[in-house]
Each structure stands twice: as structure tokens, then as C-alpha cells.
Amino acid sequence: MPQPTVEGSSRTGTVTVREAVLDLLRSFRMTKIFGNPGSTELPLFLDFPNDFSYVLGLQESVVVGMADGYAQATHNASFVNLHSAAGVGHAMGNIFTAYRNRTPMVITAGQQARSILPFEPFLFSGQATELPKPYVKWSVEPARAEDVPLAIARAYYLAMMPPRGPILVSIPADDWGVQTEPVVPRHVSTSIRPDPALLAKLGDELDACKRPAFVIGAAVDRDQAWEETISLAERHNARVYVAPMSGRCGFPENHRLFAGFLPAIREEIVKRLRGHDLVFVIGAPAFTYHIEGHGPHLPPGAELFQLIDDPTTATWTPEGTSILSSIRLGLVDLLARNARPQRPLPEPRPTIPRAEPPVEGNRMSVAYALQTLHEVRDPRSIVVEEAPSSRSAVQAHLPIVNSETFFTMCSGGLGHGMPAAVGVALAKPDSRVIAVIGDGSAMYSIQALHSAARLKLPITFVVLNNERYAALQDFAPVFGFKPGARPQGTDLAQLDFVELAKGHGVQAIRVNRALDLRDVLTQALRSSAPMLVEIEVG
């Protein structure tokens, strides 16, 4: 993790709360403030320092989504400033997502001045620390103005401590000008080394088993453990699966050992893992389910081991051995063992058939659109995805082959992808970011387009417009709807993404003929400004 510059403040004596907080933010490398301002926050911005920048989101879900993408891409907590109760309320969906994503974030929320709080003033937040619970790791309104800098320091260390996540600090408007002591930043270790005895047991079992399976979760990529995972999988000739609903990619999807994606369904997982005698889950829950299931969690004869940096997740894992550890450090310790088990290579994954272009007069398939995108994009470009019914087509036709080049949310809460793409692009100015977004998903935080335009970020927004909430229509039979039935509220029409983009200051083009797609995408991927491509899909 980035370490704070512990030389810290050169100030002596007393400083204002504002000065003490800004000094801390500098030392934590948090000089971008993601926010949407209100009167209760304005005092923070008095004499706004030149070395800080303000990243405006036109709605708080956009603010937090951008801060999430930025924090994930920089491996450091992002700093967010929200407007008291209503601002936190708007942000809540993406705060929930940041919590599930394990994204470190220090969120400050404005509060009315302390002296008028007894009189329930306009805009005050009645129970400011309760509002974001339970989707923050900690929330506090310091008892005294003088304690605000200490709360910010603790918020940062705690946000960065695994499992990482958002923290909320509520700050009354009159606190910023109060005199206080400067806070000296500290080194706080955030890595955990595994218990050696348990790790040796896992190592022995891994060496002795016949058909190991690895199940890779988002924490592998978050902890920059991609290389170690490949080395360990190759040493063991293990089949490598992606954990259900993983928000990141931790293994090259074109690797000889790659075996595909586990669905979030208990019986299906058991079926896919059948024949393996050891299942090693790395940096993921075992397992995330989406629909009700029954029976065993693993196939007969399989033993489960889990390497996990989250104690809570370790406690609900239904069977086997959970080893608490930073993911990379755990893998490094496993790789340090001498044994080189001799095991044949498993059968390769069957090749995925190419998607066909549409027959004349029909809309093109999502698979065809994504295959074309795959053919024209640089494999080092970064994909941020939020297109629920297209997920399996993304997995089949848009393979991810490099670390830190795939982001989606682990929460299931829509409205994250568009602003997260902006945050990732802000953090990675030398990379091309491609946001692959469903038409429905785009509308939860469409204002992200405005931030992309304002920041002049060359993001390619690809909107897959099927004029409906297809995922819900596809899902309906699980709840007893007749096949083909369209549940209430799932048809969307008349959304014009070209006009919406233009209205936010972003160039846009619509593609409805498969023949045009390659050229349009090629052009969009070369653009030095943000560009939206709306693709009419079936």
C-alpha cells in the first residue's frame, strides 16, 4: 500500500482544523476531493489550496462511484465530501457497493453548526452516524471540533485495513476554523501473514491431492497477486475458475489452465467442480449465491481451503479450512515451499464458438458486438462493466488477459459502472478505459458523462441498448413467470443515448448496422475526448 509521508506537518503550535486535515490528506496522498457541495461543506473550501483538485459529480451516487474507481485503480483510499443528510442518502447505493467492493474511502459529510444543532436547523443530519450504517466500517461525528483531524487519520488507517471499505466522518460546519493541534501521520501496517502451521497443512494437501481446482476472487487483483497466482496454478497444474460475481479479474482468461466462470448457484458450482479433490478458494467468499439452492456446497470427496483477507467472510464459510492472510503474502509463502508435484495438465477448456453477424433486418447480438469490440481494442485497455444480462457474453467474447484491466461491482447495485469508469480513467491517464454499460444501468448515474467531459477523459462508453431490463426478464422464470413473460416495469423505450450524451457535453454515435460497428468503435477508441457509442442490440 502507499505509505504516508510521515515527515508530516511542519507546523508547530496550533493550526485550524482545516489546515490540520489538509496536511493529513497531503501526507495520505488524497489531494483529489470527490464531491458535490452544499452550504454545510463550504467552510472546508475556504482558501482552497493549489495542490488539491475538486472532482465534481452532479449527483452523489456519481461522486462515490468515481471515488470507488479512483481508489481501486490507485490502491489508495479516496477522499469524498458529501452534503449532510440528503447527499449521503443519494450516495448510499454506491456506498453499499464500495463496502462490498472492499474499496477504501474516507467520506466526510457536512453537518450544521454545533451551536444550532439543539434547534433542529435546516439541513441538519439528525443521526448522522447512523445514516450510512451498516455499510461503512465506522462512522463518527467527533465529540469536539478539535478532534476532527484525529478522526480523519483514524478513518484513513481503518479504511485501508483489510477488509478495506468506506468510513464516514460527519463534520459540523463551524468546526473547520477552530484551532487544534496538528496530527502527525503514522505508519500503520495493513498486511497479514498467514499462520505458518495452517499454511503448511494447506501446502501439504495441495502437494498430495490429485486434481486441484483454484477459485479466484476479486481480492487477488486488488492485492496485486496476479503473478503469484499464475505461478502457483502452473506449479500445481490446477484448473482455475473465477469465483461467482467477482468484481475483478485475477487470472488471464486465455491461459491454458483457465476453466471459466462459476455461476452464483449452489448446485451448479457443485456440478462444475465435480472430480476435483481439493478446492482452493483464493480471495473470494466460498461461495456467493444469487438464488436459493440446497444440498452440499462442494462435490463429494473435495476438501475446501480458503485464503482470505476478511475475517467475517472466513467465519461464514460453510466447511473446510479458512486461512486469514493478505492474499499476495499467503501465495508468496506457498510458493516458497520446495515441493514440485508431478501432475498431468488438465484437459483444456473447449473453445468458444464465434458469434455470428445478424441476418439482414435483425438487431445484432450482444455477443457479436462484444466480439467486435474485442477485435479492435488494445488488450491492455481497461474494461469497466455494468451490463447485467450481457455478463456471460462479456465472459465469452471479451476476454481479460492483463491484471487490473477489469472492474465491475461486487454488490449487484446498479449505478456504479459509469462513474467508476471516470474514476479509473482519472487514475490511469495513460490507459484507454472502455465502459460497457446496459441501457438500464446507464440511467442510474448518467451524470457521470458530465464529469468525463469536464475532466476531458478519453473514455469510450459503449451502451448496449436492448430497450429493456433484460436481466430481470431472463430471471423471471426462476420466480414462476411463464417463459417469455415480461414482468412489470422491465420494458424501456425512447431512451436516446446520443442526445443524452450530447446534453452532457460528450460526443456520441448510434450504431444499428453490424457492418458499421468495427469502424465506429475503432474511431471511438482513438478519440482523445470521451465518446459514447450506443449500439442497438437484440
Ligand X SMILES: Cc1ncc(C[n+]2csc(CCOP(=O)(O)OP(=O)(O)O)c2C)c(N)n1
Nearest alpha-carbon partner for 27 in 15, 9, 11: 9
Asked if 415 interacts with ligand X (CB under 6 A), we say yes
One of 8, 260, 412, 505 touching ligand X (CB under 6 A) = 412
Asked if 518 interacts with ligand X (CB under 6 A), we say no
Can you tell me the distance from the alpha carbon of 401 to that of 405, in angstroms, rounded to the nearest whole number? 8
The active-site residue out of 75, 255, 290, 374 is 290
Strands 32-35 and 212-216, sheet pairing: unpaired
One of 337, 468, 502, 510 touching ligand X (CB under 6 A) = 468
For 413, other C-beta atoms within 10 Å of its C-beta total: 20
Residue window 67-106: x/- pattern of binding to ligand X, with contact defined by CB under 6 A: --------------------------x-------------
The active-site residue out of 19, 41, 141, 404 is 41
The stretches of 134-293 forming alpha helices (DSSP H) are 148-160, 196-208, 218-222, 226-236, 266-272
**110 binds, options ligand X, Mg ion, none, Cβ within 5 to 8 A by partner type:** none
Residue window 7-46: x/- pattern of binding to ligand X, with contact defined by CB under 6 A: ----------------------------------------
Output 106 or 448, the one with its CB closest to ligand X: 448
Residue 385 exposed, middle or buried by CB count within 10 Å (0-12, 13-18, 19+): buried
Quick check: is 356 catalytic?
A: no
Quick check: is 253 catalytic?
A: no
CA distances, 418 to each of 123, 224, 447 (Å):
29, 24, 9
**388 binds, options ligand X, Mg ion, none, Cβ within 5 to 8 A by partner type:** ligand X
Contacts of 494 (CB under 8 A, 6+ apart): none
Quick check: is 290 catalytic?
A: yes
The two counts, helices (H) then strands (E), for the chain are 18, 20
**313 binds, options ligand X, Mg ion, none, Cβ within 5 to 8 A by partner type:** none
Smallest separation (angstroms) from Mg ion to the CB of 464? 7
Smallest separation (angstroms) from ligand X to the CB of 388? 4
**412 binds, options Mg ion, ligand X, none, Cβ within 5 to 8 A by partner type:** ligand X
Asked if 387 interacts with ligand X (CB under 6 A), we say yes
Binding piece for ligand X, criterion CB under 6 A, among 31-39, 144-152, 182-190, 388-396: 388-396
Instruction: Cell numbers for 424, please give them.
Output: 479509473
Q: How many Cα neighbours within 13 Å face the side chain of 432?
A: 20
Smallest separation (angstroms) from Mg ion to the CB of 329? 41
One of 471, 520, 531, 535 touching ligand X (CB under 6 A) = 471
Q: Read off φ and ψ for residue 99, nearest 5 degrees.
A: -65, -45
Output 138 or 481, the one with its CB closest to ligand X: 481
Asked if 414 interacts with ligand X (CB under 6 A), we say yes
Per-residue DSSP letter, 145: G
Smallest separation (angstroms) from ligand X to the CB of 448? 14
Peptide bond into 287 cis (omega under 30): yes
The SS3 of residue 5 is coil
One of 472, 495, 498, 509 touching ligand X (CB under 6 A) = 472
One of 439, 451, 460, 534 touching Mg ion (CB under 5 A) = 439
Quick check: is 189 catalytic?
A: no
Q: Are 493 and 443 in contact (CB under 8 A)?
A: no
Asked if 408 interacts with ligand X (CB under 6 A), we say no
Sign of CA dihedral 451, 454, 457, 459: positive
Q: How many residues bind Mg ion (CB under 5 A)?
A: 5
The active-site residue out of 9, 78, 83, 411 is 83
Quick check: is 39 catalytic?
A: yes
Residue 99 exposed, middle or buried by CB count within 10 Å (0-12, 13-18, 19+): buried
Smallest separation (angstroms) from ligand X to the CB of 444? 6
Quick check: is 412 catalytic?
A: yes
The active-site residue out of 260, 293, 412, 505 is 412
Asked if 473 interacts with Mg ion (CB under 5 A), we say no
Q: Are 174 and 115 in contact (CB under 8 A)?
A: yes
Residues between 431 and 460 with contacts to ligand X, criterion CB under 6 A:
438-441
State the first-to-last Cα distance of the chain, in angstroms, to the nearest integer: 44
Q: Provide DSSP, 68-91.
A: HHHHHHHTS-EEEEE-HHHHHHHH
Site residues (vs Mg ion, CB under 5 A): 438-440, 466, 470
- Catalytic positions are 38-39, 41, 60, 83, 290, 412
